[in-house]
Structure 1
Amino acid sequence: MSTATHVPASFAEIIADFGALAPADRLQLLLEFSRGLPALPERYADHPELLEPVPECQSPIFLLTEVEGTGEDATVHLYFSAPEESPTTRGFAGILHEGLDGLTAEVVLAVPSDVYNQLGLAEVVSPLRLRGMAGMLGRIKRQVREKIAA
């Protein structure tokens, strides 16, 4: 497994979109990502106990990864459950979904753990909220590692 870290093109595009905006507009883009978060498929919506909570988030959010295939070439799929009334948390989940869903395990695991700092959101959301995004990414990476090792 490669120990180098990098940002995949899909996530780099999101970073560029945030970087091109003034701070107030970044918050608006975060809200757009919250609206774009896909709903859970029925198999998880009917069984929320299968999703892992992310206690670092101020709002209740749960996530689950699926790994299709074997080893580092396996494809990762991400699923999130976040309340509509928590747009910041949903926005972070939406960014992670759009930036990482469908990539290989190797690529997801190589994403820097502090990639959220590159979004320029520290000026518009609290450090506590940013820690929530770090918690989501940490759990995604752990779940992927566990599933490719199984």
Structure 2
Amino acid sequence: MSAGLPAQLEELVEDFTAVPQEDKLQLLLEFSRSLPALPERLGEHPEELEQVVECQSPLFLAVEWAEDAAPGPETPVRLFFSAPAEAPTTRGFASILHEGLDGLPAREVLAVPDDLPERFGLTQLVSPLRMRGMSAMLARIKRRVRELQEG
């Protein structure tokens, strides 16, 4: 059990820890295929996305409040990612973060432990540079949530 994680994120960590080491990359690849496409409004305005330069592949993200929600610690956060199809590891990490964090209240997103990427059991299979990319995505999301809260 992954103490301190929201239920949907804890379930993802459990999914990864339940599969044998040799199947973890396949599971990550499956996640890469399920990353939602950007909404049209963001696709037409790429300047609204922030690049996570620590990622080996071009990854861009946007963090917003849920539509028509008043800003606050209980306000749901919406996440949007853009990563090329030829970057399955990066897309997989983005998809995990999307599935695990999208729609959660701001306070829950901010409370996610910074060691989250290591909890998936991928450190032996994925390069340290790629692991840093996932950590950077999480850090960027949390920073943007704090900025949104500050107005």
TM range (shorter): over 0.9
Deviation per CA, 1:48-67: give whole Å up to 9, x if none.
Answer: 11100001100000000011
State the partner residue of 1:99: 100
State the partner residue of 1:64: 62
TM-score (structure 2 length as normaliser): 0.94
What percent identity do the matched residue pairs reach? 60
Unaligned runs of 5+ in 2: none
2:73 match: secondary structure: helix
Is this contact kept in 2: 1:75–1:105, CA < 8 A? yes
Distance 1:45 1:70 in 2: 24
Distance 1:65 1:6 in 2: 22
Distance 2:124 2:139 in 1: 22
Instruction: Return the letter of the residue paired with 2:54.
Output: E
Distance 2:40 2:22 in 1: 36
Q: CA RMSD in A?
A: 1.0
1:78 match: secondary structure: strand
Q: Does 1:45 align with 2:46?
A: no
Unaligned runs of 5+ in 1: none
Is this contact kept in 2: 1:71–1:149, CA < 8 A? no
Is this contact kept in 2: 1:74–1:148, CA < 8 A? no
Q: Does 1:143 align with 2:141?
A: no
Equivalent residue pairs, number = 146
Instruction: Return the letter of the residue paired with 2:27.
Output: L
Deviation per CA, 1:66-118: give whole Å up to 9, x if none.
Answer: 11332101110000000000000000000000000000000000000111110
1:26 match: secondary structure: helix
State the partner residue of 1:89: 90
